[in-house]
Structures are given as structure tokens and as C-alpha cells.
């Protein structure tokens, strides 16, 4: 999700036992098998930030409201152990670096360029930088080409035309995706879910319809060698995503965003459906990490505790699929994740 924390609407009633169980599944270990988190935001917090804590899977109840009363966003209440947000850029970086080192994570990261360079300097073998475009107003085509040709960036992400009410197949973005195809750079496109209550809070240009995976078809037709991953699994448009992935073997997906925000049963039903439909080799783990360091462990726990997945399928989701999609040995030749 390309989100701001205040965009969610929620009330929470999370079962405390299950919540505790989810957070205890990734104890520190000396050697852990590698994980790729393909969806990490580098955000600027500033000093003395006061982001609200987060209850994972808090969108369990979305009762709606009335324009007269407006929206309330208690995303950090109703669970026994809300995840605290970092309070400064330094704290965020330090907690993120400690976590990815301890859990043996390689992160595909994008967002604020200054923060991204800092993180890359701090962990050169664990950070794969990306640069996104969501509208021609963000960056010129020439600047995008220049950026990608520096060699610093290895993916084009997060591309979120949906937030501007645009389809990914909008011809205004075509020149950018043509560069990605030419340079053989994977492209992450935001699709599907986009922060509950956004229409009520910001009068946003966001359109749910522009996140339909069928909106990819013209783009993929114009660029047959483009390597696209559908971010957030285009949740909840799973049937459409399955249709597109069946049609085009180069399309992968990530589980970011909804993996820590939607009801757990819904998350598991979605993953199970995708595996059942035959796409277990194209599901990639991702968080949509923003400000809450422990969100990483909570999200990994969803995969590690999935009773319907074999150990091999879990490894595919947590690492193997993304390693193959990204061709990680080309991106991190010395380390390989
Ligand atoms: Zn997104």
C-alpha cells in the first residue's frame, strides 16, 4: 500500500491468545534461512514523531459510519500488545537494520531517496533499491532513465497510478514502463487495496476500479517482456489476478499490506486460494513496511504458521520465488541474499 497511517478506518477486537502466538513464532536464531521482503518503504519520520501504535490485522471490523460523525481510526487499540512506531528516523533505521540482520532478510526498498541511500550504506548486501513512478508529474522520463542507468536502482517500484485514478495501462506512463522493459528491470505495481476510508478522509483520486488486475492487460500486451509483480495481490480481486497470471507467465505477486492489516482468516483464505489455483511459485512475501519495526515479525509469522502450506511452499513464498523473479544473484552478486 502506498499509504499514510491515518488513512485506515477500523475498530478492533483481536483474540489475544492468537495475537501473542503470531508474534512469538520468530525467535532470534543464529542461522535462519534467508527471506526476501520485496516491499519495504523508506519513509522520513522526522524528529519526535508520534505515530500511533498498530494492532496487526486491525481491519477485522469495518462497520461504516455517517458523514455527520465522520471517521475514527483506532488502529492501535483493541489488542493486547500493539506494535509501537519508531519515534525518529534514527530509531527506525536502527530497528529495521537490527531486524533484517537477525532474521536474515534482504529488502527491496523504495521511497524517500535520502533515507534509501542511508539504508543502502548501512546494509549494502541487504538492501535492493527501487524507484517508482505513479504519475508523469513525479519524474520525467529522462530522469527515470538516468536514475535507472546509474546502477543504484534495481527495480521500478512502487508504481501506484491507482492513487491518481489512473490505470497502469494509461499511455501517459507507457514511456516509463518501456524503459523498464528495455533495461530488463522488474516493475512493482500497486493494485487492489489502498487504505480503508481514504475516500472519506481525503477526497482522494484513488479508484478501486483502477486496481483491477485486468487493467494490466494492455500494458502487458504492449510490453511482452516486462516483468511485473502485482503488489498487495490486488486484494480482494483474486479471481481477476488468477486470470491474468494464467494468461501471462511473467506476472508475480506480493502479499504486502493486507498481510498485516486485514483479518487473518481472510489473509489465509487468499493465500490458500492462490496456492490452490497453482500459483505457489509466484507468491512473494512482502510487508509494505512503514513505521512499525515489529510488523516484520508479525507478517512473517502469518506464513510460518500457515497450516495449509508445506515447508517447501513456505520457503518458496519467503525466499525462493522472489529470488527467481528478481534474479537476485544479478542484484547482489557478492552476497545473494
Ligand atoms: Zn501499495
How far apart are the CA of 2 and the centre of ligand 1, in A?
4
> Can you give the pTM of this predicted structure?
0.89
Helices 113-122 and 89-102 meet at what angle, rounded to 10?
40
Residues 287, 14, 64: CA angle, nearest 5 degrees: 85
Q: What is the grid cell recorded at 59? A: 481491519
Q: Write the DSSP symbol of residue 318.
A: I
Q: What is the pLDDT of residue 322?
A: 98
How far apart are the CA of 229 and the centre of ligand 1, in A?
12
Q: What is the grid cell recorded at 258? A: 493486507
Residues 119, 153, 134: CA angle, nearest 5 degrees: 100
Residue 29 has pLDDT above 70, yes or no: no
How far apart are the CA of 6 and the centre of ligand 1, in A?
15
How far apart are the CA of 30 and the centre of ligand 1, in A?
32
**What confidence tens digit (pLDDT) does each residue in 296-332 have?**
999 999 999 999 999 999 999 999 999 999 999 888 7
Average pLDDT score, the chain = 89
Q: What is the pLDDT of residue 60?
A: 86
Mean pLDDT in residue range 173-194: 96
How far apart are the CA of 192 and the centre of ligand 1, in A?
8
d(C-alpha 331, C-alpha 149), whole Å: 14
How far apart are the CA of 190 and the centre of ligand 1, in A?
4
How far apart are the CA of 193 and the centre of ligand 1, in A?
8
How far apart are the CA of 160 and the centre of ligand 1, in A?
7
d(C-alpha 261, C-alpha 194), whole Å: 11
How far apart are the CA of 158 and the centre of ligand 1, in A?
7
Residue 190 has pLDDT above 80, yes or no: yes
Residue 196 has pLDDT above 80, yes or no: no
Mean pLDDT in residue range 91-108: 97
Topology adopted by domain 33-50+85-331: TIM Barrel (3.20.20)
Residue 258 neighbours by CB distance under 10 Å: 23
If you average pLDDT over each of 23-37, 71-85, 224-238, which comes out highest? 224-238
Amino acid at each position: 500500500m502506498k499509504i499514510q497511517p491515518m488513512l485506515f478506518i477500523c475498530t478492533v477486537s483481536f483474540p489475544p491468545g492468537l495475537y501473542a502466538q503470531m508474534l512469538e513464532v520468530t525467535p532470534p536464531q543464529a542461522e535462519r534461512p534467508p527471506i526476501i521482503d520485496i516491499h519495504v518503504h523508506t519513509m522520513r519520520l522526522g524528529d519526535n514523531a508520534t505515530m500511533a501504535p498498530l494492532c496487526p490485522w486491525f481491519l477485522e471490523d469495518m462497520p461504516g459510519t455517517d458523514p455527520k460523525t465522520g471517521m475514527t481510526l483506532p488502529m492501535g487499540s483493541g489488542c493486547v500488545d500493539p506494535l509501537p512506531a519508531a519515534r525518529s528516523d534514527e530509531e527506525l533505521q536502527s530497528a529495521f537494520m537490527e531486524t533484517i540482520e537477525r532474521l536474515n532478510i534482504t529488502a527491496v526498498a523504495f521511497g524517500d531517496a535520502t533515507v534509501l541511500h542511508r539504508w543502502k550504506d548501512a546494509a549494502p548486501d541487504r538492501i535492493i533499491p527501487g524507484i517508482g513512478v505513479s504519475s508523469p508529474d513525479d519524474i520525467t522520463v529522462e530522469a527515470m532513465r538516468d536514475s535507472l542507468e546509474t546502477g543504484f536502482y534495481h527495480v521500478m517500484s512502487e508504481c501506484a497510478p491507482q492513487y491518481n485514478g489512473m490505470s497502469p495501462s494509461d499511455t501517459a506512463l507507457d514511456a516509463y514502463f518501456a524503459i523498464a522493459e528495455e533495461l530488463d528491470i522488474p516493475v512493482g505495481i500497486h493494485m487492489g487495496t489502498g487504505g480503508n476510508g481514504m475516500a472519506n478522509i481525503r477526497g482522494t483520486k484513488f479508484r478501486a476500479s483502477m486496481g483491477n488486475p485486468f487493467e494490466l492487460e494492455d500494458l502487458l500486451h504492449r510490453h511482452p517482456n516486462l516483468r511485473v509483480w502485482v503488489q498487495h495481490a490486488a486484494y480482494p480481486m483474486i479471481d481477476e489476478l488468477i486470470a491474468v497470471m494464467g494468461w501471462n507467465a511473467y506476472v508475480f505477486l506480493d502479499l504486502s499490506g493486507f498481510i498485516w492489516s486485514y483479518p487473518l482468516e481472510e489473509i489465509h483464505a487468499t493465500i490458500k486460494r492462490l496456492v490452490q489455483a497453482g500459483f505457489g511459485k509466484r507468491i512473494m512475501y512482502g510487508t509494505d513496511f512503514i513505521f512499525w519495526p515489529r510488523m516484520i515479525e508479525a507478517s512473517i509469522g502469518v506464513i510460518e504458521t500457515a497450516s495449509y502450506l508445506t515447508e517447501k511452499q513456505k520457503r518458496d513464498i519467503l525466499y525462493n520465488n522472489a529470488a527467481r523473479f528478481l534474479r537476485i544473484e544479478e542484484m547482489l552478486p557478492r552476497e545473494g541474499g
